[in-house]
Amino acid sequence: MAANSRVPIAAHALAWLELARRRGREVLTSEEVAASVNTNAVIVRRSLGDLQRAGLVTARRGNGAGFSLGRPAAEITLLDVWLAVSPEPLLALHHSEPNLECPVGRGIRPVLTDLYDEATDAFRAALARRTVTDVPERILA
């Protein structure tokens, strides 16, 4: 089972846009962001598109085309990023119905649902406490 890499790619892109902004570059191309992430620009554009739909980045077309932050980095939480790019739940249940004749099969879903809801709430709260500004600050510290 592979881990979801959409959130780290999006967070990386936003952190790079913020660091570039601090260095006087308001707009970066998807190729420039992809070079930092070390992935294909198509993957980065897909992520930036998700972030744009959520209002976290803006896209400029034509002369000087590229992407910039849609609002100040200090106002973009990592929860905003997660919600923008990660449509699936943090933790999933069985893909098929467990054996309801078995006592564990009959009771596992409600128990795991409660635990997963608690874990997801804690995860969301932790992400809500951090902003995009925190990422380059911690990297450069």
Which domains, ranges and CATH numbers included, belong to the chain?
6-140 (1.10.10.10)
Q: What is the pTM of this model?
A: 0.87
Instruction: Evaluate whether 7 touches 86 at the Cβ level (below 8 Å).
Output: yes
Residue 65, pLDDT > 70, answer yes
Q: Residues 6 or more apart from 3 whose CB is under 8 A from it?
A: none
- pLDDT, average across residues 108-128: 93
pLDDT score recorded for residue 78: 96
Model confidence at 20: pLDDT above 90:
yes
From 90, 135, 87, select the one nearest 116 (Cα to Cα): 90
Residue 3: what pLDDT? 55
Closest CA to 133 of 82, 53, 77: 77
CA distances 107 to 68, 91, 94, 96, 118, Å, are: 48, 17, 12, 14, 18
Mean pLDDT over 31-55 rounds to 95
- Range 12-33 average pLDDT: 96
pLDDT surpassing 70 at residue 18: yes
pLDDT for 35: 96
Q: Which residue has the higher pLDDT, 87 or 59?
A: 59
Mean pLDDT of 87-92: 78
Q: How confident is the model at residue 10 (pLDDT cuts 50, 70, 90)?
A: very high
Tell me what the pLDDT averaged over the chain comes to.
Answer: 92
Asked whether the predicted pLDDT for residue 1 surpasses 50, the reply is: no
If we measure between CA atoms, which residue out of 73, 79, 84 comes closest to residue 21?
Answer: 73
